Structure 1
Amino acid sequence: MGVLKLVLGLVVICWLGIAAFVYFTQGSLLYQPLPTNVLIETELMNTVPGLEVLLVTTPDGQSLSGWFLPRKRGRSLAPVLVYYGGNAEDVMDFMRQAKNYPDVSIAAVNYRGYGRSTGVPSEAALKEDALAVFDQASAMTGGKGLVMGRSLGSGLAAHVAAEREVIGAVLLTPYDSILAVAKDHYPYLPVSLLLKERWNALPDAAKAQAPAMVITANQDGVISDARSDALYDAWAGSKLRVRVPLAGHNDIVNFPDCTKAIQKFLQDNVR
């Protein structure tokens, strides 16, 4: 009995330790800002013709920094594709892929605390910022825009699609809620009690009327198919589902099947 009590005591201590770790470090687990890589920034400016710095001032006075690449469509600018990145991503990475999507203007702005953007990230702040970025970028191109969100950013793209009139939404490795994702990863913890931010995308999906494409990675070890399927099922507008064989959560954008699917979606929805 003494040994059993000792073992049970150690199990409880370990369980409490893990729970405490998740509770007190959840901010750094969810938001992983990267400082600006000056070498990549210089390369980007030198290799992407027409690229401009885009600055967005938030309602609470923060300054968000990113990029805008205008593309001509007839005598005016092409509709803008506004990109919302992953939780550990500098949007410069996406701007380096701009050549793959020549039929749209492109805007991508780093979250608060990421790159050269000021402030501290939170769910409420990032959702407000996402709307501000879309409003400014779409105004620059005549009021028409699409959204693309990857991983964490898929929830922001869904939020914008629910609150604004968008032409279409591309959702890369999306989730129904961060709470549900956390339950998948920590089934032995009371994550409903531990998480401060839920990032529930389902209400926005149920409100969004724009056409959407959900793209998932068959080898995704972060967000399961069940999480993406739930978002897909909830989406109110027309929708299609694309699965990329052999792709993982972090490298899906490097697969030609992913790029081709996005290109076709843009061609079908940008008039």
Structure 2
Amino acid sequence: MITELVVLGLLLLFVIPSVLVYRLQHKIIFAPQYYNRRRLFAEFPDLYRPLELQVEKGIVLEGVVYEPEERSATTMLYFGGREQDSVTLIGKLSLHYPSVRIIAFNYRAYGKSGGEPSEAAYHGDALKIYDYVAGHYGDPVLLGYSLGSNIAVHTAARRFPKELILVAVFESVKALSWARFKPVPRMFIKHRFETISEIPGVKVPFYMYVTRDDGFVPIAQPRKLKARAKEGMVVDYKEYQGYNHAQLLFSEEVTKEIEKVLAK
């Protein structure tokens, strides 16, 4: 009887949560979005220009560049969150940062981009996007939000952007699953997005803006990332209250901080 209870306890504590995470993680991590808000590009063609980037045979990513009326020497490359159509978000980004060039591409399966989501594909595509942007506009400032914070860190660890801005950054999918569910063995996690292992490789100045009221990422995770960063690379780290995960990016306080970075 005791043995049966132990087995049942192990099933409830480890096996069942692990199987659920393994089977559902694709939907948990990736939530491709398409918002039909592209009339802005037709109405203001001098400001918003659609882009396309072929990342491999048969797979083209949808992108857009916002060019301010007065040409800017600063380019911001945006990597968005799991539920964002980053191309249509360009309108909102340009309202907050009207004086800088802003470029965004949709991940595979998001917006009009082709292909299927995966960690390896997103990381590989991000490097190709960076090289395209750097080749046409010079090295950009990277802004990564939520899922995009990992992709921005992965990119910055392999390229040399001017600076790196992270909003609502998380440690890893494993750490998130442990915080939200129960302990899940690493072998059950297909898409790991381990920011914690990438961040020591970032050799450019970067900024971290997080919230204690995130509701999704425990505050211990960005604190751990800050501690793992290469000495002297974290220029600014701020913790806020009163904003959840979705509200932080366009909060008044964070946009003011990002404005300061872009104005340099």
Fold conserved between structures, TM > 0.5: yes
Q: Could you say if the C-alpha distance between residues 94 and 150 of structure 1 is closer, same or farther in structure 2, counting changes exceeding 3 Å? A: farther
Match of 1:46 in 2: 43
Cα deviation digits, residues 132-178 of structure 1 (max 9, x gap): 1111122221x221101001100111111111111111101102222
Q: Which structure has greater helix proportion?
A: 1
Q: Shift of residue 102 of structure 1?
A: 2.5
Q: Which amino acid aligns with 2:96?
A: N
Residue 24 of structure 2 is aligned to residue 25 of structure 1: yes
Runs of at least 5 residues in structure 1 that lack an aligned partner in the other structure: none
- Which of these residues, 96, 108, 127, is aligned with residue 112 of structure 1? 108
- Report the count of equivalent residues: 260
Match of 2:156 in 1: 161
1:231 match: secondary structure: helix
CA distance in structure 2 between the aligned counterparts of 1:243 and 1:113, rounded to whole angstroms: 33
Q: Could you say if the C-alpha distance between residues 45 and 185 of structure 1 is closer, same or farther in structure 2, counting changes exceeding 3 Å? A: farther
CA distance in structure 1 between the aligned counterparts of 2:108 and 2:76, rounded to whole angstroms: 20
Give percent identity, aligned residues only: 24
Q: Could you say if the C-alpha distance between residues 242 and 45 of structure 1 is closer, same or farther in structure 2, counting changes exceeding 3 Å? A: farther
Match of 1:136 in 2: 132
CA distance in structure 1 between the aligned counterparts of 2:226 and 2:99, rounded to whole angstroms: 26
Q: Shift of residue 181 of structure 1?
A: 1.7
Cα deviation digits, residues 225-248 of structure 1 (max 9, x gap): 111112222222242112232010
Q: Could you say if the C-alpha distance between residues 242 and 140 of structure 1 is closer, same or farther in structure 2, counting changes exceeding 3 Å? A: same
Q: Could you say if the C-alpha distance between residues 42 and 72 of structure 1 is closer, same or farther in structure 2, counting changes exceeding 3 Å? A: closer
Contact 2:207 2:236 survives alignment (8 Å): yes
Contact 1:65 1:117 survives alignment (8 Å): yes
Cα deviation digits, residues 80-126 of structure 1 (max 9, x gap): 11100111111122442212113321101110011100001111110
Contact 1:95 1:108 survives alignment (8 Å): no
CA distance in structure 2 between the aligned counterparts of 1:214 and 1:265, rounded to whole angstroms: 12
Residue 32 of structure 2 is aligned to residue 37 of structure 1: no
CA distance in structure 1 between the aligned counterparts of 2:146 and 2:162, rounded to whole angstroms: 20
1:254 match: secondary structure: coil
Q: Could you say if the C-alpha distance between residues 72 and 165 of structure 1 is closer, same or farther in structure 2, counting changes exceeding 3 Å? A: farther
Match of 1:235 in 2: 229
CA distance in structure 1 between the aligned counterparts of 2:176 and 2:248, rounded to whole angstroms: 19
Q: Could you say if the C-alpha distance between residues 49 and 253 of structure 1 is closer, same or farther in structure 2, counting changes exceeding 3 Å? A: farther
Deviates more, 1:191-200 or 1:216-225: 191-200
Q: Which amino acid aligns with 2:224?
A: A
Q: With the length of structure 1 as denominator, give the TM-score of the two structures.
A: 0.86
Q: How does 1:162-241 map to 2 (within 5 A)?
A: 162-186=157-181, 188-236=182-230, 237-241=233-237
Runs of at least 5 residues in structure 2 that lack an aligned partner in the other structure: none
CA distance in structure 1 between the aligned counterparts of 2:124 and 2:207, rounded to whole angstroms: 23
Q: Could you say if the C-alpha distance between residues 203 and 11 of structure 1 is closer, same or farther in structure 2, counting changes exceeding 3 Å? A: closer
2:190 match: secondary structure: coil
Contact 1:209 1:238 survives alignment (8 Å): no
1:240 match: secondary structure: strand
2:84 match: secondary structure: coil
Match of 1:64 in 2: 61
CA distance in structure 1 between the aligned counterparts of 2:45 and 2:176, rounded to whole angstroms: 36
Q: With the length of structure 2 as denominator, give the TM-score of the two structures.
A: 0.88
